[in-house]
Structure 1
Amino acid sequence: MQVKETSLPGVKLIEVDRFEDFRGTYIESFNKEDYVKQGIDIDFVQDDFSMSRKHVLRGIHGDQETWKLVSCIFGSFRLVVVNCDPDSEWFGKWEAFDLSETNYRQVLIPPKYGNAHLVLSDQAIFHYKQSTYYNPHGQFTYRFDDPRFNIWWPVKNPILSQRDDLGKRV
């Protein structure tokens, strides 16, 4: 496993090891001991999956206390991570990552960051581990096209949920 710093403080890109042979591919997606050795000592308590079709855009969502470890286990999507802490000098800064079933990347997202993803393949499965149990009342939501962030998306008219279409401007 290789852990790389990104342009956003606290956000890490993780390249997991894999074994491939004539039968296929084997990946260990999480081993607490290995992550602790890399300085990632987070107690994850919940795993979630989101299955979506091409051009579905979910987010920008987050909260004040949850760490997330995001990966793509099927298909491909563009993940955008945004600093959503209004007290931070980094507020509004973002970085995009292309995650797929073939590059086996993970992104570690700290609290106070929002994340969104746009499905690039016909279908994709978004997987994330969380350090807290989901609390819908503690969530923040920003529109994917919030002008404060100026995020470039590779689609003009994404498919949005009502929550994401309206977005609670914070």
Structure 2
Amino acid sequence: MEVVSTGIEGVLLIKPKVWGDARGYFVETWQQERYAMAGITLPFVQDNHSRSSRGVLRGLHFQKTRPQGKLVSVSLGRVFDVAVDIRPQSPTCGKWYGVELTQENQWQLWIAPGLAHGFVVTSEIAHFHYKCTDYYCPWDEGAYRWNDPAFGIRWPITEPLLSEKDRQAPLWQA
């Protein structure tokens, strides 16, 4: 497993070893000791799986008082995945990191608690997985607009399919 620093504290790109042959492939998606050596030591309490179609953009989401760390990956399709540092005391507050996660590369992104997260589907469909360090609390959720000029995220799409909640999300106030 290769662990790549992204320039934002608490955001790591993880490239697991993939064993493949003519029959398919095998990848170890979580192993507590190995991930602890990479600095991911918070316990995971909830796993989520979403299926979305091309052009669906989910985000930029976060929880206000019960922030979730997330280890995210794609098992089918491709997404452009983004983490945004919204921690007021962080030296990289307002900065973002984006990467393409695919069924072929099997990469994962670790997003520490306190960051906003979003992704857009760039394949026909995508199956997206989240391992979370806290439970989802609807009363605690927050969101910022996906195309907020303060962040300047370079999404690979200009007219995404959004939920009403994401369409109405506020702009970030640093």
Q: Structure 2 length as normaliser, TM-score?
A: 0.93
Structure 1 residue 113 corresponds to structure 2 residue 115 = yes
- SS of structure 2 residue aligned to 1:50: strand
Deviation at 1:90, TM superposition (A): 1.9
Report the Cα offset of residue 18 of structure 1: 1.4
Gap runs ≥5 in structure 1:
none
1:72 Cα deviation (Å)?
Answer: 0.7
State the partner residue of 2:48.
48
Secondary structure (helix, strand or coil) at the match of 2:33 reads helix
**1:34 matched to which residue of 2?**
34
Give aligned pairs, total: 170
Deviation at 1:87, TM superposition (A): 3.6
Identity percentage over the alignment? 38
Q: Which runs of 5+ in 2 are unaligned?
A: none
Shift of 1:10: 1.4
Structure 1 runs, 4 residues or longer, greater than 4 Å off = none
Say if 1:34 and 1:88 are closer, same or farther in 2 by CA, change over 3 A.
closer
- Distance (Å, rounded) in 2 between the aligned partners of 1:63 and 1:88: 17
Which residue does 1:69 correspond to in 2?
71
Query: What is the one-letter code of the residue matched to 1:7?
Result: G
In structure 2, C-alpha distance between the alignment counterparts of 1:127 and 1:74, rounded to whole Å: 10
Decide which moves more: 36-45 or 51-60. 36-45
Residue of structure 1 equivalent to 2:150 = 148
Per the alignment, residue 4 of structure 2 pairs with 4
Residues in 1 aligned to 2:22 and 2:155: alpha-carbon distance in whole angstroms: 37
Cα distance in structure 1, aligned partners of 2:5 and 2:108: 12
CA shift, 1:147, in A, is: 1.6
Q: 1:5 deviation in Å?
A: 0.9
Is the Cα–Cα contact under 8 Å of residues 140 and 168 in structure 1 kept in the other structure? no
Cα deviation, 1:92-122, whole Å, max 9, x if unaligned, reads: 1001110000001000001111111010000
8 Å contact from structure 1 (residues 67, 131) kept in 2: yes
State the one-letter code of the partner of 1:92: G
Where 2:113 maps in the other structure, the secondary structure is coil
